[in-house]
Structure formats: C-alpha cells, structure tokens
Amino acid sequence: MGTVGPASNKSGGLLPPLEKLQKLAELAAVVPADSTADQDDTSRSWLIRRRLADKQVAELVELYRSGVGTPALCEQFGISKPSVLELLHERGVQMRRQPLTKAQRVLAVQLYEDGLAIKPIAAKLGSSFGAVHRVLKAEGVRLRPRPGR
C-alpha cells in the first residue's frame, strides 16, 4: 500500500482546513446566490437568434443593404463576423464583395513594401486579410514568408 496524503484518492475524505472553509463562507456572502438572475435570457444565450430581436436583425439587414460593411455591423451589434454573415445568409441577402479602391490598392502595396504585415494593413484599410492578400498577389508583389512558417 502506498502512502496516504492530501492528494491521494485514499485519504478517507479528509475535510479542508478551517481557514479555507471560512474564506469560502466569506466569498459566498459577498456573491449573490444567483448572480445571473438580473440578466434576461437574451444576454446569456450564445445563440444569435436569441440575443438579437427580430427588429435588430431587420435593422442589421437594412444597414448591410445600404452599404454598411460587416466590420461596422459586428461592432454595432456586438457579434462576430461569421454571425453577421449567418444572419444575412438566413434572410437571403445577396452578399457583396467590396473590392479595394485603386487608391487603397496602391496604399496596400506601399505599406507592405514598407514592411507592414498584411493583417495591420487590412485593419488600416477596413478590409480583410484575404482581400489585401489577393490585391498584393494581383499587383505582383513578392510576399514575405509568414512568421512561424
């Protein structure tokens, strides 16, 4: 038989020290018994359909149709880009691909050649990594290897 200690499964269910129990009691007194009671179901749900009311989804769709980009919608409604795209797709919205303007293309090439990475360039232009990557390739820019690859 091995030794029986505090981390052993054979410790016989020893009780924790009194100090730990007192600390737990103090913490329990400070934290409400049901700390989520003041939240409604919509704020706790991870399902987008439950977090956004139909009116909000309709507003999101109209904003997208009026030209507002998905990054702005994500920020305004507090949801991720895949969630925005899912909501738009579910409502049959024609997706658009917003190519970079000629000025943005020139700036992207210049920034990349000045040493800036693609992700910060995309953030600066309000675009995606993939869109900037495609532009750089189309413009014939020799891409640097990605770190860690």
Residue pLDDT, tens place only, 73-106: 999 999 988 899 999 999 999 888 768 899 999 9
- In this prediction the pTM is 0.41
Q: Give the pLDDT of residue 21.
A: 80
- Quick: pLDDT tens for 110-129: 999 999 999 999 999 988 89
Q: What is the mean pLDDT of residues 17-44?
A: 66
Q: What is the mean pLDDT of residues 33-52?
A: 57
- The residue assigned the tokens 């018994």 is 33
Q: Give the pLDDT of residue 3.
A: 60
Checking if the pLDDT of 58 tops 90, the result is yes
Residues 54-83 as b or e (16 or more Cβ within 10 Å = b): eeebeebbeebeeeeebeebbeebebeeeb
**pLDDT, averaged across the chain:** 82
Q: Give the pLDDT of residue 116.
A: 96
